[in-house]
C-alpha cells in the first residue's frame, strides 16, 4: 500500500473536492494479488484538480473486497466503492461503475492493470480541455506476465484516430484512456448485451469527436494472466465475443442511420465467419489426410 496520506494527495487541488474533474473508473473481480498496485498507481497521480477513484467490486470470492474497503477507509474523500450482494457480471459492473462517475472526464483501468506515469491524468485532462475536437486520448502499453515484458505484444491504437475509425470500434488500450463523460444516457440494449463494452464505448464516442494518441506519457502496464477476462480467454471465446459485439454494433449504428458504418460491420462479420469456417475446414481436411496416410502404412 502506498505511503501517502489523503491530505498529501489533495494538497495541490484547486476547486471543490466534492466536484471531481476526473473520475477513475475501475472494475475488479478476484484481483487480490494485483488490486493494491492498481489503486496505488491512481493515488500517486499528481494533479492540480480533484479526482475520484470509483471502484466497482463484483462480489469477489477472494480478499479483493477487504482490500478495497481498507483503501476506502484510508481515503474516504477520494475513493467511492460500488458493491452489491450478488455478482452482476463484467458488463453490468462496468456500466454501474461508469454511471457512478461524476467527473467531467473518465479514465479507465481494470483492477489487474496499473499506471506508470504520475502525470498521466494531468497531461490527458489538459489536452482534452485545450482540444475540444477530441473526445478521447490514450497512450501506449507494456504487456507483461509472470516472466516479464512481452516484447511482441500487439495492443490497441498507437496513432490518432478519426471519428469514423472510432465508430468502427478500433481497439484502444482501455487502461490508457481518458474520455469526456458523455455516456450516462448512452447505455442502449445493444451495449448492455455486448461482450466487449470498451469497443462499444469507443464506437459511441466516434459521434462526438476524434481520438488522440499521447506518446509522451509513460506506457501503462497491461497484465496478462490466466484469470484475466480477456487475456485468459481462449481464441474461440474471443472470436465468439467479437462476432456478438460486431453484430450488436451493426444494429446500434443502423438505428442511427450510419449506412457506411453499418456496411463496415457487415463486411467484418462476413470476414469473421468466412475465416473461422475456412479454419475449421482446413483442420478437418488435414485430419482426414493424416488418417488416410496412417491407414496406408498399416
Q: Is 12 exposed, middle or buried (0-12, 13-18, 19+ CB in 10 A)?
A: exposed
Q: What is the mean pLDDT of the chain?
A: 91
Main-chain dihedrals φ then ψ at residue 40, nearest 5 degrees: -60, -35
What lies within 8 Å, CB to CB, of 224 at 6+ separation is 143, 144, 145, 150, 153, 231, 232
Q: Can you name the residues that pair with 51 across neighbouring β-strands?
A: 22
**pLDDT for the residue numbered 148:** 92
Whether residue 226 has pLDDT greater than 80: no
The CA distance from 22 to 180, in Å, is: 9
Q: What is the spatial distance between Cα 109 and Cα 112, in angstroms, rounded to a whole number?
A: 8
pLDDT category of residue 250 using cuts at 50, 70 and 90: very high
pLDDT at 272: 86
CATH of the domain at 81: 3.90.550.10
pLDDT of residue 287: 52
Distances (CA, A) of 71 to 29, 151, 260: 16, 33, 47
Asked whether the predicted pLDDT for residue 295 surpasses 60, the reply is no
Grid cell of 99 as nine digits: 454511471
Answer whether residue 138 is part of any domain.
Answer: yes
- Cβ contacts of 250 within 8 Å, gap of 6 or more: 262, 265, 266, 269
Residue-wise pLDDT for 97-131, tens only, equals 999 999 999 999 999 999 999 999 999 999 999 99
In a domain, 246, yes or no: no
Residue 296 lies in a domain: no
Q: What is the pLDDT of residue 296?
A: 45
| Largest Cα span, the chain | 82
**What is the value of pTM for the model shown?**
0.89
Domain containing residue 183: 6-228
How many domains are contained in the chain? 1
Any domain includes 260: no
Domain assignment present for 238: no
DSSP 151: T
Burial of 196 (0-12, 13-18, 19+ CB in 10 A): buried
Q: What is the Cα–Cα distance from 188 to 192, expressed in whole angstroms?
A: 6
Q: What's the rounded Cα separation, in Å, for the pair 213 and 211? A: 7
Domain presence at residue 297: no
How does residue 281 score in pLDDT terms, banded at 50, 70 and 90? very low
What gap in Å lies between CA 71 and CA 31, rounded to an integer? 14
Nearest to residue 203, comparing CAs of 159, 261, 128? 261
Q: Confirm whether 209 is domain-assigned.
A: yes
In a domain, 147, yes or no: yes
In angstroms, the Cα distances linking 270 to 13, 161, 264, 266 are: 51, 24, 10, 6
Amino acid at each position: 500500500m502506498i505511503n501517502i496520506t489523503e491530505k498529501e494527495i489533495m494538497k495541490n487541488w484547486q476547486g471543490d473536492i466534492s466536484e471531481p474533474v476526473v473520475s477513475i473508473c475501475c472494475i475488479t473481480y478476484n484481483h487480490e494479488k494485483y488490486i493494491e498496485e492498481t489503486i496505488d498507481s491512481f493515488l500517486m497521480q499528481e494533479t492540480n484538480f480533484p479526482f475520484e477513484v470509483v471502484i466497482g467490486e463484483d462480489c469477489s470470492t477472494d480478499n479483493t473486497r477487504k482490500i478495497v474497503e481498507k483503501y476506502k477507509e484510508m481515503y474516504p474523500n477520494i475513493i467511492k466503492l460500488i458493491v452489491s450482494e450478488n455478482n452482476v457480471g463484467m458488463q453490468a459492473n462496468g456500466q454501474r461503475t461508469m454511471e457512478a462517475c461524476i467527473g467531467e472526464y473518465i479514465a479507465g483501468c481494470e483492477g489487474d492493470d496499473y499506471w506508470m506515469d504520475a502525470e498521466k491524468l494531468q497531461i490527458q485532462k489538459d489536452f482534452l480541455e485545450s482540444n475540444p475536437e477530441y473526445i478521447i486520448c490514450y497512450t501506449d502499453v507494456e504487456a507483461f506476465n509472470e516472466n516479464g515484458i512481452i516484447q511482441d505484444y500487439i495492443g490497441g491504437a498507437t496513432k490518432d484516430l478519426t471519428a469514423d475509425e472510432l465508430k468502427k470500434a478500433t481497439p484502444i488500450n482501455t487502461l490508457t484512456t481518458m474520455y469526456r463523460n458523455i455516456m450516462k444516457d448512452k447505455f442502449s440494449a445493444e451495449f448492455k448485451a455486448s461482450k466487449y463494452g470498451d469497443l462499444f464505448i469507443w464506437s459511441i464516442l466516434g459521434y462526438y469527436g476524434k481520438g488522440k494518441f499521447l506518446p509522451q506519457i509513460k506506457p501503462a502496464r497491461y497484465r496478462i494472466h490466466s484469470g484475466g477476462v480477456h487475456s485468459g480467454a481462449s481464441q474461440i471465446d474471443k472470436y465468439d465475443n467479437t462476432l456478438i459485439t460486431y453484430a450488436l454494433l451493426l444494429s446500434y449504428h443502423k438505428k442511427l442511420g450510419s449506412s457506411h458504418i453499418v456496411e463496415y460491420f457487415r463486411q467484418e462479420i462476413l470476414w469473421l465467419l468466412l475465416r473461422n469456417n475456412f479454419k475449421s475446414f482446413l483442420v478437418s481436411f488435414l485430419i482426414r489426410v493424416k488418417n488416410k496416410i496412417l491407414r496406408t502404412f498399416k
